[in-house]
A and B are shown apart, each in its own frame.
Chain A
């Protein structure tokens, strides 16, 4: 018999629904494995006892009509979970216990899923390597001392190490797709407005989206179907007819026009990634798709634009952490002194750096030169995609300009760290859906991903394309469980 741990989410569901295994059985298997995997530092909060109780509750009165019947899941610690500590990887929220639930996690529980625990992430989702978390860096199961990517690094690592059958993350500039690419997993950032932001610790409100991280494309479609919903509690949630992403998933992409943007061929990109991209093109041709060269002329300006827009929004969003109503408080001689000490001691260096960048670009005398300028360039970037999508149905690019790097390699050079997100950030700026799927290995046997970008609300199209490519790629990762104790 196949090891239970190795089953994909959709296969696991079949076994639960056919009563071959119980919810408690599979929940216990995941808990035991998670307990032996402390070295990876993926969990910041474990709710194992509660999970066992909930699985027993499910087994005593099972409802097999749900989409995630009795499935144990760990989620990124950026989602507020009622009565379960939610830290956003920050000291300032070290003891914060929400009294309400995020809409996307509520959607999981409504479909029968069971919370296993909360997964480590970069502090306030600001990072590309999971090295900025107050709770320490996460290690990738791919190799010792290797970063899992970020900011959903704990989610990616836990998923790749099989400590959860699937998970959800958030993506502001690549925080789902980049760690998915680094760990050989599938990650999807939905169209802005698809998944509710209610109850997600805010980073940059015009860019943040929650999305699934899974072992294969099928699971990704299933998780998306569960978490995507219209929510009146999020003022930017969009009310559109959501397809049944999972049951509608198919490999018929004949005649689809796929754009290849020449600007994504960046200097210094390893030839392995170039070759992988070529292979992706030929797979798509084999599936009957048509490859078309396109241009997204403002691609190079996306990152500097992002590093104005995102910190500006973050500086405003993070103003709420003042030590008054919740979170960490440092003592001060007076109110202002208390604010300044609280924020100085409560936030880590990267978060402080971004708050200061944001404060500067919004400050009197600099607003037009930086913030307004960035909003205008953002418009140009969106226009690039709009005109490309007049010619093509989707766009194929590499997910990242390199494979995963070693812990500590980029921490002293913020700009080189930011460059990790060069292929993912434009998608957030334009509010588009994008999916990263594992596509091959580099010379060190580290995973590399390909990204498919779609038109707004065309998640089904990019899922179908990814589903077709996945079959041709037939990605296999050979690794032993070296971290298990």
Chain B
């Protein structure tokens, strides 16, 4: 199965990464080489194998539903890319 330029652009859209035509062509080449190499997994019959979803075969722990971090508004907003003490600023989304 090969990945064409149209697919590369579709993946870039899904990934929310804009790429120009030159980069897309380079990626088409790289991704095809990588996936050609990955195809060797198809030599294995895995019909009866259970997928491994977690290496630590334990279920997740529960904790008490308690607030532990209080009054951290300043901390949360500290690294915001736009200076604002009260909320995160994004481009207008509602007309």
Contact = CB atoms under 8 A, between A and B. Distances in A.
B60 interface: yes
Contacts of B3: 360
Among A319, A325, A335, A341, chain B packs the most CB atoms within 10 A around the CB of A325
Contacts of B75: 99-100
A165 interface: no
A51 B50 CA distance: 51
B90 A431 contact: no
A301 B49 CA distance: 15
B54 to A, nearest CB: 7
Q: How large is the interface on A (under 10, 10 to 19, 20 to 34, 35 or more residues)?
A: 35 or more
A-B complex: 3 closest residue pairs judged by Cβ atoms: A326-B79, A375-B51, A431-B55
Interface string A157-168: 000000000000
B41 A301 contact: yes
Nearest to A232: B63
Interface in A425-454: 430-431
Interface in B37-79: 37-38, 40-42, 44, 46, 49-56, 58, 60-61, 63, 72, 75-76, 78-79
Contact of A304 (B8, B18, B41, B55): B41
B5 interface: no
Given A235-B60, A372-B51, A376-B49, A339 B16 contact: yes
Contacts of A334: 91-93
A298 B88 CA distance: 48
Interface residues of B, number: 48
Contacts of A206: 54-55
A102 to B, nearest CB: 16
Contacts of A288: none
Contacts of B38: 304, 307-308, 370
A336 interface: yes
Interface in A407-435: 414-415, 430-431
Given A232-B63, A326-B81, A363-B11, A307 B34 contact: yes
B80 interface: yes
B68 to A, nearest CB: 9
Contacts of A352: 15, 17, 19
17 contacts: A97-B79, A100-B75, A238-B58, A301-B40, A304-B41, A307-B34, A319-B16, A324-B90, A325-B79, A335-B91, A338-B90, A352-B17, A356-B12, A359-B14, A372-B51, A379-B52, A380-B44
Nearest to A321: B16
Contact of B14 (A308, A363, A373): A363
B85 interface: no
A123 B55 CA distance: 25
A340 B18 contact: yes
B15 A415 contact: no
Interface in A323-359: 323-329, 332-341, 343-344, 347, 352-353, 355-357, 359
Contacts of B56: 192-193, 236, 238, 431
B16 A415 contact: no
